[in-house]
Amino acid sequence: MQLEGKRCLVTGGSRNLGRAICLSLAKEGAKVAFTYRKNDVDAKETARLIEEHAPPALVFRGDVSDARHAREVVDGVVDAWGGLDILINNAGMTQLLPFALIEEADWKLVCDVNVKGVFLFCREAVKHMVHAGTGKIVNITTFGEGRSVDAPVHFAASKAAVRGFTEAFAREMGHHGITANCLAPGLTDGGLSARLPESRRRDYVKNSAMRRLGALEEMAKIVLWMVSDDQGFMTGATIVADGGL
**Residue 144: which pLDDT band, with cuts at 50, 70 and 90?**
low
- Mean pLDDT confidence for 25-49: 97
- Across the strands, what pairs with 173? none
Q: How high is the pLDDT of residue 12?
A: 97
Q: How high is the pLDDT of residue 191?
A: 77
pLDDT at position 152 over 60? yes
Average pLDDT, the chain: 94
Among 142, 121, 149, 143, CA closest to 206: 149
Q: How high is the pLDDT of residue 240?
A: 95
The CA-CA-CA angle for residues 68, 8, 23, to 5°, reads 120
**Residue 146: which pLDDT band, with cuts at 50, 70 and 90?**
low
- In this prediction the pTM is 0.95
- Mean pLDDT confidence for 69-74: 98
Q: Which CATH architecture has domain 7-239?
A: 3-Layer(aba) Sandwich (3.40)
Percentage of the chain lying above the pLDDT 70 cut: 98
**pLDDT per residue as tens digits for the range 5-23:** 999 999 999 999 999 999 9
Q: With left for phi above 0 and alpha for psi between -120 and 50, is residue 82 left, alpha or beta? A: left
> Cα torsion for 104, 106, 107, 112, to the nearest 10°?
120
Percentage of the chain lying above the pLDDT 90 cut: 86
The C-alpha atoms of residue 20 and residue 220 are separated, in whole angstroms, by: 6
Instruction: Give the start-to-end residue ranges of the domains of the chain.
Output: 7-239
**Residue 194: which pLDDT band, with cuts at 50, 70 and 90?**
confident
Q: How high is the pLDDT of residue 215?
A: 95
Q: How high is the pLDDT of residue 79?
A: 98
**pLDDT per residue as tens digits for the range 210-239:** 999 999 999 999 999 999 999 999 999 999
